[in-house]
Amino acid sequence: MTNPADEPSETDLDDNDLGECVSVGGEPLGDLEKQLDQLWPKSTEVRSPLAGRRIAHYDLKRVLGSGAFGVVYLAVDTRLGREVALKLPRPEVLVDADKRARFAAEASLAARLDHTGIVPIYHADLDGPAPYIASGFCDGPDLAEWLEEHGRVTSWEEAVELLAKVAEALHYAHAQGVHHRDLKPANILLTLATDPSNKAKALGDYEPRIADFGLSKLADASLTDTRSSLLVGTPLYMAPEQIDKTIGSDSPAATDIYSLGVILFELLTGQTPIGGESYVEVLDGIRTGRAARLRTLNTACPRDLERICSRCLEKNPAARYQSAQVLAGELRRCLKGESIEAKSQRVLSRIGYWCRRPARVAEAGWFTLWVQAIWMVWVVGTDTFIGFSDVELTEGDWWLIQRDTLFALSTVHVPMAYSGWQTTKGKRWAPWVSAILTAIMMPGLFASIATGPVFFAPVYKGSTSWFVFAVYFMLITCFTIQIAYNVCAVLAIRKRRAAR
What would the DSSP string read from start to end of 108-123? HHHHT---TTBPPEEE
Measured over the CA atoms of residue 470, residue 473, residue 475 and residue 481, the dihedral's sign is: negative
How much is the pLDDT for 441?
85
Phi, psi (deg, nearest 5) at residue 372:
-70, -35
Amino acid letter, residue 99: K
Distance separating alpha carbons of residues 135 and 131, to the nearest angstrom: 13
CB contact at 8 A, 304 and 236:
no
pLDDT single digits (tens) 301-312: 999 999 999 999
Measured over the CA atoms of residue 292, residue 293, residue 296 and residue 299, the dihedral's sign is: positive
Cα dist from 129 to 78, 79, 91, 95, 486, whole Å: 20, 20, 11, 12, 60
CB contact at 8 A, 432 and 455:
no
Indicate which residue of 6, 77, 182, 304 is catalytic. 182
497 against 217, higher pLDDT: 497
Distance separating alpha carbons of residues 390 and 38, to the nearest angstrom: 71
Contacts 24+ apart (CB under 8 A), 94-100: 94/131, 98/225, 98/226, 98/227, 99/69, 100/131
182 counts as catalytic: yes
Residue 125, pLDDT above cutoff 90: no
Grade residue 39 by pLDDT with cuts at 50, 70 and 90.
Answer: very low
Residue 168, pLDDT above cutoff 70: yes
* DSSP SS3 for 256: helix
DSSP-assigned letter for residue 252: T
CB contact at 8 A, 36 and 11:
yes
pLDDT single digits (tens) 51-90: 778 899 999 999 887 766 778 899 999 999 999 999 888 8
Residue 166, pLDDT above cutoff 60: yes
Choose the most confident range, by mean pLDDT, from 16-25, 229-238, 457-466, 483-492.
483-492
How much is the pLDDT for 462?
61
Grade residue 112 by pLDDT with cuts at 50, 70 and 90.
Answer: confident
CB contact at 8 A, 51 and 61:
yes
Grade residue 157 by pLDDT with cuts at 50, 70 and 90.
Answer: very high
Across all residues in the chain, what is the average pLDDT? 79
